[in-house]
Amino acid sequence: MTERRPIRVLLVDDEPLVRTGIRAILEGESAIRVVAEASDGDEVEAAVDENRPDVVLMDVRMPRVNGLDATERLADRGGAPRVLVLTTFDSDDYVYEALRRGAAGFVLKRAEPEELVRAIVTVASGDVLLYPSAIRRLAAMRPVRRRDRLADARLSQREEDVLRLMARGSTNREISNELYVSVETVKSHVASILTKLGVRDRTQAVIEAYESGFIEPGE
């Protein structure tokens, strides 16, 4: 049996002590390998090109180029690694903006080691790391736009059902069980939703649903 390649991680944070602490946690995991570190967002693209990470652990507040701009630059590149935002507070508006710009999820710096590892494994597998309550709370702080984009997208009734369940943080399997359809059918609906909304992933689709007023923050 072929041994699975470790998940390659680029660690980006301007605080050396934070990088040292996270590296110490991750080096204890055989499934994860820290391939490089960067101390600011302006170093990220070169580090990605040189080290080819699967996941970038990205701080949002850095002195020269912040994590928002660095995340967006990566998201605009083809074949970019997944970005997992490191944050001190889940209520930070920077987190919400990072998700809008292409981050696959976020993890708190005070998270337990197993939570950090699980987050890395989740986004490396191609999933997004949604925290529905945090996204609802952050979305509620922003003005609701008109629903033009959702209306123009012309989602089917089933696609609207899937989008609402995505906003709850449901997995494809959970959506499948809720709607009594196959997982492959759910995947097809999700792909169609992303295409119609013109967004990169599930996180951006959920944010669009809240910001357009399609889903109320209290739902």
- Each residue of 13-29: pLDDT tens digit? 999 999 999 999 999 89
pLDDT at residue 110 in the model:
85
Q: pLDDT, tens digit, for every residue of 53-110?
A: 999 999 988 999 999 999 999 988 877 899 999 888 666 677 778 888 888 888 888 8
Which residue has better confidence, 195 or 204?
195
pLDDT for residue 1: 42
- 218 has pLDDT over 80: no
Question: Which residue do the tokens 């204890």 mark?
Answer: 28
The residue-averaged pLDDT of 33-58 equals 95
- pLDDT digit string (tens) for 129-181? 666 566 666 666 665 555 566 777 889 999 999 999 988 878 888 899 999 99
pTM, 2 dp? 0.77
In DSSP terms, 34 is beta-bridged to: 9
93 vs 7, more confident:
7
User: Domains in the chain, please, with CATH?
Assistant: 7-129 (3.40.50.2300), 137-211 (1.10.10.10)
Share above pLDDT 90 across residues of the chain, in percent, rounded to a whole number = 45
Place of tokens 């196959």: 182
Burial class (CB in 10 A: 0-12, 13-18, 19+), 121: middle
